[in-house]
Amino acid sequence: MNNRIAEIFAPKIRAALEQDWHNVVALSEFIHSHVEESSKEFDCCARLVVELEDHGFAVERGIAGMDTAFRASFGSDSAATTVAFVCEYDGLPPYGQSCGHNVVAAASYGAALALRPFAYDLDLRLLVIGTPAEEGVGGKYILGDAGIFDDVDFATSIYPGMDDISASRTLAAQRLTVESFGKPAHGAAHPELGINALDGIVLGFSAMAMLRPNLPPTARIHGIINEGGIHPQVVPDYARATVVVRAADLTELAEIRARVTCAFQQAVEAVGATCTVTPAERCAEAIVGIEALASLFDAALCAVGRSPTPTDEVSGAWSTDAGTLSRRVPYLQPQIKMTPRSIPPHSHAFHEASIGPDSESCIFDAAIALASMAAEFASNPDIRTEVESQFRAAVTGAS
């Protein structure tokens, strides 16, 4: 970071965050205690909107036809630079805030509050955009399609995790709905007259497991059985599973999806049932990497006393609706260390870790780093030009 930001704005950003710190922590605690399913985050969305309005942000509610989406704005509409801090706030009942979305939202909210006093000095328009249903339909798909990010120079949010990584690795992903259709019969009197749809799904999972040793190290395949029959005394005539296929990019994803589809189809047909495999309409894509943004955040993390590590190209990746959005606008989604390596995301233990001193340290450092990065971006036209150049090149190469 240049001396202007390091010497002038960074201490002021910290002081501004400290002044509003109790509000940031209270917001995190509220979202943590109000675990709402995707697209039903009414209480969490309302709390964020009220907090932002109380701090002088103009808020548009229900944007893009989504009841729990919003866009809050502070600064001049004619500002030279527009930066968006992105909030997520859906949970995963019964696993709680096991992806730490309360931390995600609080860090973005905190960054906006810390930078708000200097927005006009930096000729910066601040946006806080609430994106629902990251764990569900993917609110960023809908908001991106609706043009909500079209006037944004760059967007960002953080994720809590096991490491400090400015350029987190993400994977392309797609859900498959696997259905098996059999024939009912009495499970004891005449099972030979039935066709067991559940057996086909179970055999399909075994066949999918046999694929794993022969897949690229970047690939992930996993799923659940949603329906497997109604009465145990009846041969199940219908069964349904949801499978998620993940890969490094869309080309690899298509290849693995075809193999998984074939595995289930042949397994289901082997028991005499019929099978349909229906891919989800949208794929999550890997986030487009922008080295200039990652370098900015590296410097910001070092300034708050953290030591960012290189991207791990094999382990620790996830999938997100931000990947598709990153093809519309330069996007950075760093990982900030919150837990030891023994606590995995999407677990009860991670929910517990998303509140308390470690989570507050994660939020505080992340908010300062996000705000400092945005201040540097706004004040340095050379960086803005480099980010735009890298973004155009990366999107062209990824398409």
Strand (E) positions, the chain?
58-61, 70-74, 81-87, 124-130, 154-156, 159-161, 172-181, 220-227, 238-247, 274-279, 331-332, 335-337
- Can you give the pTM of this predicted structure? 0.94
* pLDDT of res. 317: 83
CATH code for 172-279?
A: 3.30.70.360
User: What phi and psi, each to the nearest 5 degrees, are found at residue 74?
Assistant: -140, 135
* pLDDT of res. 143: 98
* pLDDT of res. 168: 83
Average pLDDT over residues 391-395: 95
* pLDDT of res. 5: 57
Local confidence band at 10 (pLDDT 50, 70, 90 cut-offs): confident
* pLDDT of res. 105: 98
Q: Kindly tell me if the per-residue pLDDT of 272 is higher than 80.
A: yes
Q: Kindly tell me if the per-residue pLDDT of 329 is higher than 60.
A: yes
**pLDDT tens per residue across span 235-258:** 999 999 999 999 999 999 999 999
CATH code for 3-170+286-398?
A: 3.40.630.10
Local confidence band at 59 (pLDDT 50, 70, 90 cut-offs): very high
Rg, Å, the chain Cα set: 23
- Biggest CA-to-CA distance, the chain: 83
Residue 85 contacts residue 109 (beta carbons within 8 Å): yes
Q: Kindly tell me if the per-residue pLDDT of 2 is higher than 60.
A: no
Of the ranges 4-13, 172-181, 184-193, 359-368, which one carries the lowest mean pLDDT score? 4-13
* pLDDT of res. 229: 97
Residue 334 contacts residue 150 (beta carbons within 8 Å): no
**pLDDT above 70 coverage of the chain, percent:** 97
334: three-class secondary structure by DSSP? coil
Average pLDDT over residues 169-183: 96
The amino acid present at 14, given as its one-letter code, is R
* pLDDT of res. 397: 77
What number of other Cβ atoms are within 10 A of residue 109's Cβ? 27
DSSP code of 6? I
Average pLDDT over residues 24-29: 98
Q: Dihedral sign, CA of 105, 98, 30, 61?
A: positive
Average pLDDT over residues 309-325: 83
Local confidence band at 204 (pLDDT 50, 70, 90 cut-offs): very high
Domain boundaries, the chain: 3-170+286-398, 172-279
CA atoms in the 13 A half-sphere facing the CB of 31: 36
Contacts with 114 (C-beta within 8 Å, 6 or more apart), sequence order = 13, 14, 16, 17, 20, 367, 368, 371
Q: Kindly tell me if the per-residue pLDDT of 313 is higher than 80.
A: no
Among 176, 175, 180, 247, smallest CA distance to 216 is for 247
Residue 316 contacts residue 169 (beta carbons within 8 Å): yes
**pLDDT tens per residue across span 76-134:** 999 999 999 999 999 999 999 999 999 999 999 999 999 999 999 999 999 999 999 99
* pLDDT of res. 110: 98
* pLDDT of res. 316: 67
**pLDDT tens per residue across span 355-381:** 999 999 999 999 999 999 999 999 999
257: three-class secondary structure by DSSP? helix
* pLDDT of res. 283: 94
The stretches of 180-315 forming alpha helices (DSSP H) are 197-211, 250-270, 291-303
